[in-house]
Amino acid sequence: MSDSLAPRPVQVTPDHYEFEKYDDAERWMSYWHQIRVVLRCRPRRVLEIGPGSGVFRNYLRSAGVEVNTLDIDASRDVDYVADITKLDETLPPGLTFDAVCAFQVLEHLPYADFETCLANIARRAAPHVFISLPYRGLRVRWSFWWGDHKFTLGHKFMLPWKDKPIPEHHWELGKGTSARKITRVLQRHFEVVERGFLEENPYHYLWCLKVPGAPALPPAR
C-alpha cells in the first residue's frame, strides 16, 4: 500500500470493544436509535464508517440490507481498511450508497479534517447521511420514589465539562464546539432533516441529513 493510501495509526486495541466495557446499556439505546432512523429511509445499500463492535451492521444485514464497512482498524473485519479522509482513493469510482453512517467516528480525527470527511461522505451518499458525535457534559435530573413508583422531575441537561477523559478523541461537542456550530458546518454540505440528543444516551448527539439534489430512493419493493 502506498503512503498516500496508508491509514493513520489505530487508536485502540481489539479488547476496547469487549462486551460491557464498550457496549454498555446506554450505547445499546444508541444502537436502537441508529437502526431506527436508518431503516426508516428503507436503504438497500449502506456504508458504515467505523463499525465498532459490529452491532449496527449485523442487525441491518439480518434485516436484508447490504452493509459495507470501512475503518482504519483491520481487526474490525471491515470491507475497506482505509482512512475516511481518503474515500475517493479507496472506494471504487462511482460507487454510492443509499445511506452513509458515521456514528461516534469523526471526533477521532483532528477537527481540521472534519470538512474533508463531510465532503467525501457527500460524494458517496444518495441521498441519506447519519452522523453522531459525543457531547461532553453532565446529565442532571431529579427522581423520587412513592411506594413502588418512581417519578422523574425536570429534564436531562448537558453542562460543559472541563477535562478530556477519552484520549483518542481529538474534540467533542460541549467543549469549545457547540452543536449549533457543527450544524452550521454540516449545512454547507447537507440538508439537516433532524438533529438532537438521544434521550436515553445524551452523550450522543445525532444528525439525520440529506445530500441536496441527490436522487431520492425509489419506492421500497
Domains and CATH numbers, the chain: 14-210 (3.40.50.150)
> Is the model's pLDDT at 165 over the cut of 80?
no
Instruction: Categorize the per-residue pLDDT at 207 as very low, low, confident or very high, splitting at 50, 70 and 90.
Output: very high
Helix (H, G, I), strand (E, B) or coil at 172: coil
* C-alpha–C-alpha distance, residues 68 and 57, integer Å: 8
> Is the model's pLDDT at 135 over the cut of 50?
yes
> Is the model's pLDDT at 114 over the cut of 70?
yes
pLDDT digits 0-9 by tens, 38-86: 999 999 999 999 998 999 999 999 999 999 999 999 988 999 999 999 9
**pLDDT of res. 5:** 47
Question: How much is the pTM?
Answer: 0.83
> Is the model's pLDDT at 218 over the cut of 60?
no
Are 93 and 101 within 8 A, CB to CB? no
User: Mean pLDDT lowest for which of 68-82, 181-195, 206-220?
Assistant: 206-220
State the first-to-last Cα distance of the chain, in angstroms, to the nearest integer.
41
**pLDDT of res. 140:** 64
